[in-house]
Structure 1
Amino acid sequence: MSFELLLTALTLIFIFWGLYSERFHPAAVFFIAVSIFVLFGVISPSEALSGFSNSSVAVIILLLIIGNVIQKTGIISYYFSKLLGENIGYRAFLGKMFLSVSSISAFLNNTPIVAILLPYVYHWSRKNGISPSKLLIPLSYAAILGGTITLIGTSTNLVVNGFAIENGLKSIRIFDFAYVGIPATLVGFLYIFFIGYKLLPEREDPLRSFLNKKKEYMIETIVRDNSNLIGKSIKDARLRNLKGLFLIEILRKDRRISPVSPEEIIEKGDILIFVGQTDAITDLVSSDIGLSLPDFCNIEDEKIDIVEVVVSNNSSLINKKIRETDFRAKFDAAILAVHRNGERLKGKIGEIILKPGDLLLLLTGKDFWKRAEDTTDFYIISKIREIFNIDRKKGNFVFFSFVGLIFLSALNVVPLFTSLLILIAIFILTKISTYSEIKKGLDINLAIIAALSIAVGKAIVNSGLSEFIASLINSVFYPMGILGALIAIYLMTNILTEFVSNIAAASIVFPVAISSANMLSVDPKAFILAVAFGASASFLTPIGYQTNLMVYGVGNYKFKDFVIVGLPLSVIYAVICISLLYIFFIKQ
């Protein structure tokens, strides 16, 4: 075993640990790994940077920009509202939602699709007295399955295609995935519609739980006439540094002050509303600062407008304590509670460290919606875009011109990269979108991860690790021949993707898949597609795929819910994919 092989293996272990432990941002994990490879000569500087000039990585960036433009037009929301309707039963809604989401996810990145539909599905479920947990896992699964139908349905497919191009192989065509993707998606739908829906939990959503149990979240005090707080600012009164409590709102006569500025002056009769460890209020009111419990509770009588948001996978808030995020000043909103893994996190709000998929309950100020409009730090769940404000003419032009160009690319009339580039230029020329809006639509972290993952793949090849693992696979599965090796490649990718990102799983297994195909002297296409399908089929855990994380907190799910619903689907999907890959690309 050479030094380079051992170093590469240890670096891959670091990547697993870094991504799973979330000690570093995923882009930072890949950057450190690639730096190690360059430092020790496993790859050259030009090989480390080759991913940034890869056409598939460029296509990922262009598709994200176009997806953001389509999302802002609201046309997807409009058509979904018309298609799904309001006055239908649960099973009918489930079926229509699953088929429509999986269909549109074949052409648009599944993350914005789920972001668009989350508020709508959540609102429909609450309006019809159905727990959101009966619909949100199917929403995520539909987007995942639909994304595997075409080359452009998910960034994972494009990254795998980028690996193929870097290895001197022919680019995968847009609809090469459909031979397997369409049957697998239909089988997935049948499973959810007839069996899976029975396994979904029925849980009270966090907002309803909050409204039913306000006293477990919030407590109010009143400033007495003789209080020594009168005339002091919140900052000077030290009400921003209370143990276990967080001041979120002041009720002053007919006025509501929220979020509360540290410079706000306290007045006689003010009602101060705190959130956090409500049992800590005893120490506060028993002190001599002049606060007491009111004669009646204003929280019960006042209507409190709560907004729910989900922390995104690439949020700048991740791994920061709430008090370090300056959330109130940045978004004009106070965090009332944080839900994770189906439970509300206890302790002082300001000390909670935020993670991807956390559901935040916010008490918002008047500027919140304006400030949150273009943020990528979280997805808003509580607001449905009003369809009468949508410019349907513009939305139809954007959407159908995109679909038209995709089919022209599929027919080899115009290259995919060129068609997307032209479409973005048209959007700018016609003022459908501006340069600043396009810049906001860029997911720099995803682009960096995609580009650096190609460098990781090169290191695995250069070090000889891919051939080493491939030889082990082929020797173990020798009695089953090519089919056995195909099963091993799919399962290896699929297991990895449940615990690290799908791009990371693909980048690690792809070189092994190519080496295995070469050793068996077969067309590597089936092995390449096995990596793509295995990397996308993340149904067992909420952390393996971004759309699973997005619905995790909103549905008030527990980790085990994904295992219960997703395990049968994972087995069925694996059998369908491996069988069809063997039939279409090997047996022929």
Structure 2
Amino acid sequence: MLDFDSILVLLVILFIIVSLFFDIVGAGFTFVIAITTLSAFRVITPADVLSGFANEQIMNIIMLLLLGDVFRRTTVLDIFFDKVFKYAKTPKHFMFRMMTVVAPLSAFLNNTPLVAILIPYIHNWSKKNKTPVSRLLMPLSFAAILGGSATLIGTSTNMIVNGLVVDQVIVPNLKPLEIFDFAYVGVPMVFIGIIYMMLVGDKLLPNKIDFIDVNSNAKRDYLFELQIKNGSDFIGVQRSKVPFLKNEGFILVEVLRNGTLYQQIDHNFIFEEDDIMTFAGNKKRIADLINADKNLVIPSIGMFSKRKSSEVIEIVISHKSGMIGKKIKQENFRGDYDATVLAIHRNGENLTGEIANVELRAGDALLLMTGNQFDRLSKASNEFYTISKIKEIKRLGIFRTFVLIAGILLVITLNVIGVGKLFTGLLVLLIITQLLKIVKPKDLAKSVDYQLALIIALSLALGLAMIKTGVADMLANGVLYLFEPMGKYGMLVGIYIITSILAAFITNKAAVAIVFPISLSIALQLGVDTTPYILVVAYAAAAFNNNLHDCYCTNS
């Protein structure tokens, strides 16, 4: 006979499933309501609720996310990916390079910022090579999920499971998972997954039109310039044979050569040194072009390209601005605002000629590349309004790059050999990033996912409530009844299916919180090793990683 506490826990679990499935109040608030209800009826104590926030794994997850964001904000991975994808000629070749690089990186770096960094490369390469972007985004998602399942720190889901292991009271003296406990199944699955995608999956990938790109191509608003550098491979080459111009992210409008403007640029047009090419394109594509090709340079940048830190921002000239009626070259943006003009947009008018000679009007939108002093110098200015920040560019230099990469490798190595704790190592490394000014403290603080931390901590409290009330044992008996005739392997398959279904319809974090105590209770009742029953929950939840689906649409 179920008592009141058990019935309440079952109702709370049902509420969580329904609320997350229909997205009634959001994931974070759903768990707040659920755990507050359990605490109000004294199913769990306030100490039980708060114990999750003291779990070491939560801080490890947050610090790994912060380190991933540090890599995203710097150019470390950008430089690496530039070299990796430079010589990929076919979609299959690109996919192979991408998957063999992303999978091992995802095993040690959080896959969310990793995927965020890679998406622009995939979009640009697919445009240039006339390949549907969906054929590359899905393999990116698969590689990130497979790689993340190979180690303890590969995904936050794995670390949540380890947090549940630490906090559980079902099996006395149960040891926490080690960093490579996942590798025995995870690493072979990475190889199998890559081989499958290359031989079979490639034929099943969709050919979807990228509606985002169609939209952005219809808005080729900004006018910007690129100059052919001394020694460029483009010198003496016909337009039809310049690979850079095959990119669909922008249109070549005209070419300025020794004061002469060429507006009819046919396929036989031959480029010369110092030619200034004027393009029309969207603002994000322009920001990506900074230092993107060794053959070209944005004329207005100059020494800005050597700065350790800069930003690309969008401004609009105000109606009371003293810049109105003046040419861009007459305004001392560099001296007055620590900035330089990259591009200009004017509604309802096609601009021609050299950008520096364009007379500014009220409402003109400009893309600026700014230095560290821009905010201070422009704060009191009424000349323009800052609309948005398009891109942040950070160049670490050899020493700081070495410290960042060597630091993360050292932390992982010390943890593997049992010399240092992951928590301590990550904390020290984050402090070093601050001391070396690799990233600003305020930017790091903005990167903290407070909702994720809240969900994880309260998930641990939910698991504790299921154990204390006997609900975990009761549900475990139900699963045993269904799958025990299939043997111990059939039982693992059953747990995998249940976790996968829950993860597909609610969040994988919630699925883990619900299924973990049930799976552990089953292992205890069967009298078998608990490790497979712990790992199967993590593998199933990671296979339905809703974070990648929701954030990047790589599974849709």
| Shorter-normalised TM range | 0.5 to 0.7
Q: Is residue 205 from structure 1 mapped to residue 210 from structure 2 by the alignment?
A: yes
Q: Deviation of residue 368 (structure 1)?
A: 9.7
1:365 positional shift = 5.2
State the secondary structure of the residue aligned to 2:439. Answer: coil
- Aligned pairs for 1:75-90 (under 5 A) are 75-90=76-91
2:188 maps to 1:187: no
Q: Which amino acid aligns with 2:496?
A: Y
Unaligned runs of 5+ in 1: 215-301, 309-329, 334-363, 371-381, 539-543, 556-560, 563-588
Structure 2: gaps of 5 or more residues: 220-278, 286-312, 317-363, 371-388
Q: Distance in 1 between matches of 2:146 and 2:433?
A: 30
Contact in 1 for aligned 2:88/2:94 (Cα 8 Å) = no
Q: Sort the Cα spacing of 1:3 and 1:176 in 2 relative to 1 into closer, same or farther, 3 A.
A: same
What are the Cα deviations for residues 369-405 of structure 1, in whole angstroms up to 9, with x where unaligned?
A: 98xxxxxxxxxxx989879x56354223212211221
Q: Secondary structure at the match of 1:135?
A: helix
Tell me what 1:225 maps to.
none
Q: Is the 8 A contact 2:73 2:392 kept in 1?
A: no
Alignment of 1:336-351 (within 5 A): none
1:396-429: CA deviation from partner (whole Å, max 9, x where unpaired): 3212211221111111011111111111222222
In structure 2, what is the equivalent of residue 520 of structure 1?
Answer: 526
Specify the code of the residue in structure 1 equivalent to 2:115: V
Post-superposition offset of 1:463: 2.1
Q: Is the 8 A contact 2:400 2:436 kept in 1?
A: no
Q: Counterparts of 1:484 and 1:45 in 2: how far apart (Å)?
A: 39
Q: Do residues 171 (structure 1) and 176 (structure 2) align?
A: yes
* TM-aligned CA deviation for residue 116 of structure 1: 0.7
For residues 519-554 of structure 1, give each alpha carbon's deviation from its aligned partner in whole angstroms, at most 9, with x where no partner exists: 01112111010111011011xxxxx521122332xx
CA positional deviation for 1:467: 0.6
- Give the distance between the partners of 1:445 and 1:438, measured in 2 at CA: 16
Deviates more, 1:455-464 or 1:28-37: 455-464
* Cα distance in 2 between the residues matched to 1:133 and 1:50: 43
Partner of 2:150: 149
**Residues 230-269 of structure 1: matches in 2 within 5 Å?**
none
Q: 1:162 to 1:401 in 2, by over 3 A?
A: same
Q: Please give the alpha-carbon distance, in whole angstroms, between the structure 2 residues aligned to 1:409 and 1:61.
A: 17
CA distance in structure 2 between the partners assigned to 1:130 and 1:79 by the alignment: 23
> Aligned partners of 2:42 and 2:178: how far apart in 1?
34
* Cα pair distance change 1:398/1:304, threshold 3 Å: closer
CA distance, structure 1, for counterparts of residue 280 and residue 421 of structure 2: 55
2-side partners of 1:91 and 1:549: how far apart?
26
Within 5 Å, which residues of 2 pair with 1:171-570? 171-210=176-215, 303=280, 305=282, 366=366, 389=395, 391-538=397-544, 544-552=545-553, 562=556
Contact 1:68 1:441 in 2 (8 A): yes
Q: Distance in 2 between matches of 1:433 and 1:484?
A: 49
| Identical positions, percent | 37
The residue type paired with residue 517 of structure 2 is P
Q: Work out whether 1:99 is the aligned partner of 2:100.
A: yes
Aligned residue for 2:6? 5
- 1:169 Cα deviation (Å)? 2.2
Task: Determine helix, strand or coil for the equivalent of 1:107.
Answer: coil
* Counterpart secondary structure, 2:505: coil
RMSD: 3.0
Aligned length: 405
Shift of 1:187: 1.1
Matched to 1:191, the amino acid is Y
Deviations 1:138-196 (A, max 9, x none): 11111111001111010000000000000152110001110010011111111211111
CA distance in 2: counterparts of 1:422 and 1:85, whole angstroms = 35
State the Cα distance separating 1:434 from its structure 2 match: 3.4
Deviation at 1:430, TM superposition (A): 2.6
Does the aligned pair in 2 maintain the 1:73–1:395 contact within 8 Å?
Answer: no
Q: CA deviation at 1:88?
A: 1.7
Q: Report if aligned partners of 1:102, 1:145 keep a CA contact under 8 Å in 2.
A: yes
CA contact (8 A) 1:402 1:423 kept: yes
Q: CA deviation at 1:112?
A: 0.6
In structure 1, the residue corresponding to 2:181 is in which secondary structure? coil
Deviation beyond 4 Å, 4+ runs, structure 1: 211-214, 330-333, 364-370, 382-387
Larger Rg: 2
TM superposition shift of 1:496: 0.9
State how far apart, in whole Å, the 1-side matches of 2:435 and 2:46 are: 38
CA distance in 2, matches of 1:183, 1:43: 41
Which secondary structure state, in structure 2, belongs to the residue aligned with residue 498 of structure 1?
A: helix
Matches within 5 A, 1:110-121: 110-121=111-122
Residue of structure 2 in register with 1:57 after alignment: 58
Cα 1:545/1:211, change in 2 over 3 Å? closer
